Each structure stands twice: as C-alpha cells, then as structure tokens.
Amino acid sequence: MEVKALACQLPKDLGLPLSRLTYREIAQVAVERGIAATISGATVWRWLSTDAIRPWCYRSWIWPRDPHFAHRAGRVLDLYHRIWEGQPLGADDYVLSTDEKTSIQARKRVVATTPPSPGRAGRVEHEYERCGALAYVAAWDVHRARLFGVCERTTGIEPFHRLVDQVMSRQPYRSARRVFWIADNGSSHRGQASVDRLCRWYPNAIMVHTPVHASWLNQIEIYFSILQRKLLTPNDFAHLQELQAQILAFQAHYETVAKPFEWKFTREDLQRVLKKLSIQDQTRAA
C-alpha cells in the first residue's frame, strides 16, 4: 500500500526532478525511503497493475471554468436530443453546429508524392514550400446530416455572415420556425452581441453558445476530425486554389455518405461527470 501511495504522488512533491515515474524509479525511491529493503521494478509493476495505476501516463485535460457550464452544456445536449427549454422541437425546427477550422496550410512538397505499391507504402517528401493558409467556416445540420461551408483567407464576423447567408437563404431553413446555431465563444460569434447580430440577420435564427473550453460538445468538430484524417493528412497541395477546391469537393463527397452522428451523451450523463469532477476538486483541495 505504501508503494501504491508513492506511485500516486507527483514526482515534484517527492522532491524528484522528473515529470513522471516509471516502475523502476518507484522501486528505487521505495528502497531509498526504507519502505522495502529490496524490491524489483517487476514487482512494483505487478502491484500497480492490480489497481490499474500507471504513473508514467498522462492525459491532457481542461477543467470546467465556465461558471454557467452546466446550464450552457445542458442546453446544447438537449438540442442534440431535439429538446429546447423542456419542450420537444417541432418538425420545422433545425439544429446546426458551426465553427471555423483555422490556418489550414497549403504545403507543396519539394518532391512529388508517390502512390503505394506492393510491399511499399506511399511516400510523402518531408520538406515542403509554404503556399499560404486559409480558414474553413462550416456548419453541420445535426439531425439531417447536411453540410455547408465557405473557405476564407481569415475568420471574422463577415466570413461567418457569408456562411449564415449560404444556409439561411435555402429551404427549409429560410421558412423554418427556428434554426438553432450552436457555436463556441470564438471572436466571430462571441457573447450577447453575436446573439443579437444573428437575430438581426435572420429573425428565426437563434445563437446557442457552448461553455468556454468545451469544443467536445460541438458536433462540427467531429466532422473537422474526419476532414483532417481523410483529406488534410498528409498535406500536399500545390496552391491555395487547389486546397480550397479539395476541401469543398470533400464536403460534397462526405455529404453523400454522411449520417447523423449517434450522440448518446445526455444531460444526465453531464451531471454525473460534473459531480465526479466536484469530488476530485474537493480531494485535491484537501
């Protein structure tokens, strides 16, 4: 138990100039501190594995810091399950998830990329020429699996406005009762000003913000990850025009095979997570 307690401490709290501990280092510290006269790293590993303790592993994490996190996240989760302010959405209500994928570079490889062949993977030259960058501003219809997007040289209110025009000028959104736009707190659509601005552009459009530092709640990020994996990696585009054409072509291609994402996380799941984090906060404070 003392060895397990040792493994559950930060190295700096033990006075060690390390960022993480291996099982061999834990064994050495245990001997130095008189916990055991002698002990092998394999024994430490076996003891720790019984409780799934892995002090050599870290996970990047952002703790909720938005004072209205539960309320804002709950509204977004309700919309994914077609609920707004406790009432089911109607057939003429639509939910869009939107964001910008910024600084997408066009990298021209100094040697042409080669295709795969039997027994050999395709090869992409490491060195490249920078041919500029653009931003991709996109929206995803959560329940209809429809995509909309524009490529711009930079992000901002006007590029976002052009995306909104692209969506809201079409049916069924133009004559819809309500169109909910789920967005993060980026500069293009931040705060109450963005809520009022969207309503001025289109009275039936409603801006719904995710909490601060909660991109995982925005479904458009799932599509961006697919775009990154299927088109933008490896990055090999001769110029910005090719990059833009390929992004919009992928958007059209993906829409032909897309289905709504199976979103299972609910408001009740959120409450369980927040309760767990609250207990962890209290433990850390103690």
pLDDT in tens, 33-52: 999 999 999 999 999 999 99
pTM for the full model?
0.86
Task: Tell me if 176 sits within 8 A of 204, measured CB to CB.
Answer: yes
Q: Mean pLDDT lowest for which of 219-233, 248-262, 270-284?
A: 270-284
* Per-residue tokens: 127: 């060195």
Q: How far apart are CA 137 and CA 147, in angstroms?
A: 11
Q: What is the pLDDT of residues 253-263, one digit of tens each?
A: 999 999 999 99
Q: Which residues pair with 208 in a beta bridge?
A: 182
Q: Please, is 137 exposed, middle or buried when counting C-beta atoms within 10 Å of its C-beta (0-12, 13-18, 19+)?
A: buried
Confidence class for position 283, pLDDT limits 50, 70, 90: low
CA dihedral 50→51→56→61, nearest 10 degrees, is: 150
What's the pLDDT at 60?
86
pLDDT over 90 (residue 66): no
For residue 117, the 8-state DSSP code is B
Domains and CATH numbers, the chain: 2-49 (no CATH), 69-114+123-257 (3.30.420.10)
For residue 91, the 8-state DSSP code is T
Average pLDDT, integer, range 145-160: 96
